[in-house]
């Protein structure tokens, strides 16, 4: 199995199993594409269409209309160069703003232990720690806490294979992340460090240096060939890079974090529905 196939299959399985935890959420494998809807998380990356092949191109407008009717921001996530007809149709439909999302892979031989000084790491084990993890993630993304509360609920973090972590220096929580184990693959999501603690090597120490070195190309981890995904969405009027803060529906997790945190970009890739809820309902997700 290639790295690209590994990433694709793992992401589909992870999102599918998570969506099954929430009332009203849908992860449907349709002919030529996957359909994602989760009202509890009104974020474009979690509500959209993932084309598998170009047979999905004629179906994109109908699928996006379903999401708009559900009152959630939406997007189309494409694998670079794999579905040109779907990309053309998405752009014809008005989704002209894009966000790159490279997937990084490291296999077992590339993993190594490293001594960790000045930082302690523990798995989230109770309600207080879940709240700390959610608050740390929200502060790191400079985003509303309500966006993250669904992800850090006991129902999610207690699911098979899912575990959240807190990193501390002394009594201060300085970082958090979520690991999701599927068979022999582990996905690492929501790696979040508040601005006051960035630039001190905390992330590097927390994960044994793997993340930092992979981002700089200094380890055996690598961007998966053929798995440079892109999210396409509607341009967001009225947001100017470096000046206005994106609202909740302009957020994307994962690789968007760095751009959002620095406000180098307004991340205007969301689709603005006619009506949408601005609070997370009681049954939530990630």
Half-sphere exposure of 195 (CA within 13 A, CB side): 12
| Helices and strands: H and E segment counts in the chain | 9, 10
Q: Which domains does the chain have, with CATH numbers?
A: 3-103+225-262 (no CATH), 108-222 (3.40.630.30)
Instruction: Give the Cα separation of 76 and 89 in Å (integer).
Output: 10
* Neighbour-count burial for 127-156, b at 16+ CB within 10 Å, e otherwise: eebbebbbbbbbbbbbbeebbbbbbbbeeb
Instruction: Give the Cα separation of 158 and 1 in Å (integer).
Output: 30
Contact 271, 75 (CB under 8 A): yes
Low-confidence winner among 24-28, 75-79, 203-207, 281-285 (lowest mean pLDDT): 281-285
CA-CA-CA-CA torsion sign (257, 259, 212, 138) = negative
- Apex 78 CA angle, 215 and 256, nearest 5: 40
What is the percentage of the chain residues whose pLDDT exceeds 90? 43
Contact 141, 251 (CB under 8 A): yes
Contact 51, 32 (CB under 8 A): yes
How does strand 75-79 pair with strand 222-233? Answer: antiparallel
Low-confidence winner among 117-131, 164-178, 185-199, 220-234 (lowest mean pLDDT): 220-234
Q: What is the 3-state secondary structure (H, E, C) of 191-238?
A: EECCHHHCCCCHHHHHCCCHHHHHHCCCCCCEEEEEEEEEEEECCCCC
How does strand 33-37 pair with strand 26-30? Answer: antiparallel
**Three-state SS at 177:** strand
Q: Say what the pTM is.
A: 0.71
Which pLDDT score is estimated for 130? Answer: 96
Which pLDDT score is estimated for 111? Answer: 78
Examine the pLDDT at 201 and tell me if it is beyond 50: yes
Contact 286, 177 (CB under 8 A): no
- Which is more confidently placed, 179 or 112? 179
Report phi then psi at 212, rounded to 5: -60, -45
């Amino acid at each position: 199995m290639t790295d690209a196939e590994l990433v694709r299959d793992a992401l589909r399985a992870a999102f599918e199993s998570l969506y099954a935890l929430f009332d009203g959420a849908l992860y449907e494998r349709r002919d030529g594409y996957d359909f994602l809807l989760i009202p509890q998380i009104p974020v474009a990356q979690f509500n959209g269409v993932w084309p598998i092949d170009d047979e999905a191109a004629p179906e994109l407008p109908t699928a996006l209309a379903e999401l708009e009717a559900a009152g959630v921001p939406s997007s189309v996530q494409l694998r670079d160069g794999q579905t040109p007809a779907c990309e053309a149709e998405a752009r014809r439909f008005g989704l002209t703003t894009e966000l790159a999302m490279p997937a990084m892979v490291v296999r077992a031989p590339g993993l190594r232990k490293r001594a960790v000084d000045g930082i302690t790491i523990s798995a989230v084990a109770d309600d207080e720690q879940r709240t700390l993890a959610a608050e740390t993630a929200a502060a790191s993304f400079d985003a509303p806490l309500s966006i993250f509360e669904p992800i850090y609920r006991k129902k999610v973090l207690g699911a098979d294979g899912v575990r959240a972590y807190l990193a501390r220096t002394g009594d201060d929580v300085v970082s958090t992340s979520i690991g999701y184990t599927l068979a022999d693959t582990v996905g690492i999501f929501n790696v979040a460090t508040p601005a006051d603690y960035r630039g001190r090597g905390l992330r590097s120490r927390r994960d044994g240096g793997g993340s930092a070195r992979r981002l700089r190309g200094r380890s055996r981890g690598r961007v998966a060939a053929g798995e440079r995904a892109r999210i396409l969405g509607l341009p967001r009027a009225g947001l100017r890079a470096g000046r206005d803060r994106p609202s909740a529906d302009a957020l994307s997790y994962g690789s968007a974090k760095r751009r959002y945190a620095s406000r180098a970009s307004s991340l205007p890739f969301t689709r603005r529905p006619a009506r949408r809820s601005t609070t997370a309902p009681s049954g939530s997700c990630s």
